[in-house]
Amino acid sequence: MKKGILSLLVILMVIFAYSTEIIVWHGITDPKGKAVLDKLVKDFEEENPGITVRLQASIGNNDGDDTKLIASVAAQQVPDVYYIDRFVIAQRAYNKVVQPIDVQLEKAGYDVKKIKNEFFDFAIAECEFNGALYGLPFETDTRVMFYNKDLIKAAGGDPEKPPRTVKEVEELANKITKKIGRRVVQIGFIPWAYQGWPYTYGWAFGGEFYDVNTKKFIFAEDENVIKSFEWQKEYAKNHDKNSLDAFISMNAGDLNPFKANRMGMMVDGNWSLRGIQDLGINYGIAPVPGTDPNHISTWAGGHGWVIPKKANHPLEAAKFIYFMSTKGQIEYAVDRGYLPTIKEAVPKLIEKDPSLKPFTDVLPYAKSRPAVPIGSLAWDELTKARDQILDGADVRETLKHAQKVLNDEMEKIEKELSK
C-alpha cells in the first residue's frame, strides 16, 4: 500500500516538474463570468496535462487602455496570454506589443485557414494586421434599433411593423415627440444618441469608410457616408438640436428615456436588453435604419485573446487561446448569454434564450471598425467631425479635413512598415 502511494507521488512529482505554467491576464471579473472561466481553465488543463494555467484578473483594461501590458513588455515581465479589446489589436501589433498567433497555431498543428472560417468575418478582420493573424476573437456585440410598441401605437403607428428607413423613423418620431414650450418631455428619436455613431449610419446608408486595398480612408468621397451626415445635420436643424441634447442630459444614467417609457426609438446594443426586459418595457427590435428598407446593417466590437511580445510560452499560449476561442467560447456564450464570434455557438445560444435572436440574426452582416494602427484616432476624428456638422459645419469640407488627418497618419505608418 505504502509502495503504491509512493509511486503515485513520484508520478505526480514528475508531471509537475515537466508541466508548463502559462500566465493569463484577463478582465473577466464579475462572479458568474469568473466561475465559468475557472471551469474552462480546469477543462483545458484536463485536455492538456502538460500545461497549467494561472489566472490573474483585473490586469489591463477592457476598453483599450493596455498601459500595464505595454509596460510589462518593456520590462520583459509579460503574461503569456492577454484579454484585449479587439479594436486595438492592430495598434498593439504595429507597436510590437503583441506577436502573430498564426505561426504558433501552425506549430501546434492547427489549420489556420480552417480556424478563420469558424468565426464571423468581422471578428477575424479585427484580429489581423499587415497580413498576419494576431489573436482569436471571443465575445461580441451588435447594434440594433429598439422601439417602444406602446408609444408607437399611441402615435397611430403599427407596433408590429417598425420603420425601416430614416424617413419613416422621422415621420413616426414627429408623432411621438411631445413638448411643453420648447422643452421636450417625450421624444420620438435622436439619431446621435447612444450608439448613433458615425460608423453606425455611414454603414446603414450603404457607405464605406476605409479601403483595405489602398489602405486609405475614403469616407469623404463616399456619397452614401456623406448622405448619412447630411441627414443628421438636417435632423438637428429641424428638431432643435439644443432641445434634444438637453433632453438627453436631463435623462442620463442607467434609466435613460427609452427605459423610462419616454422615448419611442433608440439605436443601442444588446447589452441594454436585460435592463429593458427587467423594467417590463413593451419593446421590439429592428435593424438600424438607413435609406434602403431591405438593407441590413450593424457593427460589432468585443474582445479577444492575444500573445504578448516576449511571452515565455507562446506555443502553450496558442493552444489555450484556441481552446478558449472555440470550445470555451461556446460554453461561455451559452452560460452567460453573451453574443459569440464563433458561428457554432449561435444555435445553442438561441435555443437557451430566444430573445437574443434579433442580435444574432444581424451578426452575418456585421462590420468592424477599420483594423488599423490609428483606429482610436479615426474614431475621434469622425466623432469630432460629426459634432461640428451637427452644429452647422459644411459636411463635405469637414469630412475632407478629417480624412486628410487620418490618411496623412496612415502614409507615415506605411512608410515605416516598408523600411
Cell numbers at residue 115, please?
480556424
Detail the DSSP E strand segments found in 203-301: 210-211, 216-217, 265-269, 283-286, 298-299
pLDDT of residue 5: 58
The Cα-based distances of 369 to 140, 318, 375 in angstroms read 13, 25, 7
Query: Residue 129 and residue 95: Cα distance in Å, rounded?
Result: 11
Instruction: Answer whether residue 67 shows pLDDT above 80.
Output: no
pLDDT of 73 > 90? The answer is no
Range 243-269 average pLDDT: 86
Q: Give the rounded percent of residues in the chain with a pLDDT score beyond 90.
A: 84
Average pLDDT, the chain: 92
Give the type of residue at 70: I
Per-residue burial over 40-61, b = 16 or more CB atoms within 10 Å of its CB, e = otherwise: bbeebeeebeebbbebeeebbe
Q: For 271-301, how does the pLDDT look when each residue is reduced to its tens digit (9 = 90+)?
A: 999 999 999 999 999 999 999 999 999 999 9
Mean pLDDT confidence for 311-331:
98
Per-residue pLDDT tens digits for 5-40: 555 444 444 444 568 999 999 999 899 999 999 999
159: its cell numbers? 407596433
Instruction: Read off the pLDDT band of 254 (50, 70, 90).
Output: low
Q: What are the φ/ψ torsions at residue 53 (nearest 5 degrees)?
A: -120, 130
State the pLDDT confidence band at 62, using cuts at 50, 70 and 90. low
Map out the domains of the chain with their CATH numbers. Answer: 2-141+300-367 (3.40.190.10), 143-299+374-417 (3.40.190.10)
pLDDT at site 182: 80
Structure confidence by residue, pLDDT tens digits, 172-183: 999 999 998 888
- Residue 174, pLDDT score: 96
